[in-house]
Amino acid sequence: MPATPTTPVSPLLTDMSGALTQMRLAVRPGDVLHAYGARLLVLNTRFGTTEYGERQELSVVAVSHEDARATWFHAWSMGLDVEYARRESATAESPQPSTRRWWLAVSLDDKRRFSGANGFRDGSDCTICAPRPLDPARREYEPCRNAHAHAWNQIGDLDRIAPGRRHYVLGPIAETWEQAREIAAETCERIRTVGHL
């Protein structure tokens, strides 16, 4: 039987690596984790101390209707004790580096609607990658070398400032910033209403 996708493939899933085995602690936002018989997009990854000890928390969402049927029809969180996760491996597809891939730090409002995003792209003018000038009024730019980390760092800051709010790191392939932002907004709306990509 030919494999006919029931939903159009998301630009978040363009140009991924094959499924590779890696350390569980090395899973990053943007990876597609293979778990519970399903493919799950990692929306956010963080570490925190809870009453159960040091935990790695992965926010994930199913990439298709079939994957949601095997798991959940909404974004959900997988928590694992860090001491245990340290010895665990995970199977995941990773986004290939591309100058057409935008990395967005996305904020949701309290109804889980898209409320805004900041974007980063490897190769674009970047103040974070440039040396810090002594005079803060004199901004310097260099081609960005680590857009993924910039978006993830910003999410980490947002999680600390607004711990009740949801934040996602999304990495669509897009031609322009406007298009990347549109994909992110549509993705958040699909997750909220349909429950998968």
The rounded distance, in Å, linking the Cα atoms of 103 and 9 is 18
| Residues forming the site for Zn ion (CB under 5 A) | 126, 128-129, 144
* Nearer residue to Zn ion within complex by CB, 38 or 104: 104
* Nearer residue to Zn ion within complex by CB, 60 or 95: 95
Residue 74 DSSP one-character state: S
Minimum distance, C-beta of residue 129 to Zn ion, in the bound complex (Å): 3
The rounded distance, in Å, linking the Cα atoms of 41 and 105 is 15
State CA 27 to chain mean position distance. 10
* Nearer residue to Zn ion within complex by CB, 92 or 147: 147
* Nearer residue to Zn ion within complex by CB, 103 or 168: 103
Tally the residues of the chain.
Answer: 197
* Nearer residue to Zn ion within complex by CB, 39 or 150: 150
Minimum distance, C-beta of residue 155 to Zn ion, in the bound complex (Å): 15
Minimum distance, C-beta of residue 172 to Zn ion, in the bound complex (Å): 18
The residue behind tokens 């004199």 is 138
| Inter-residue contact 111 to 89 (CB < 8 Å) | no
* Nearer residue to Zn ion within complex by CB, 91 or 98: 98
Minimum distance, C-beta of residue 99 to Zn ion, in the bound complex (Å): 12
Minimum distance, C-beta of residue 151 to Zn ion, in the bound complex (Å): 10
**What does the block give as tokens for 25?**
């602690």
Minimum distance, C-beta of residue 146 to Zn ion, in the bound complex (Å): 5
Count CA atoms within 13 Å of residue 51 on its CB side.
0
Question: Which DSSP string do the residues of 97-160 spell out, in sequence order?
Answer: P-TTBEEEEEEE-TTS-EEEEEEEETTSEESSSSPPPSSTTS---EE-S-HHHHHHHHHHHHHH
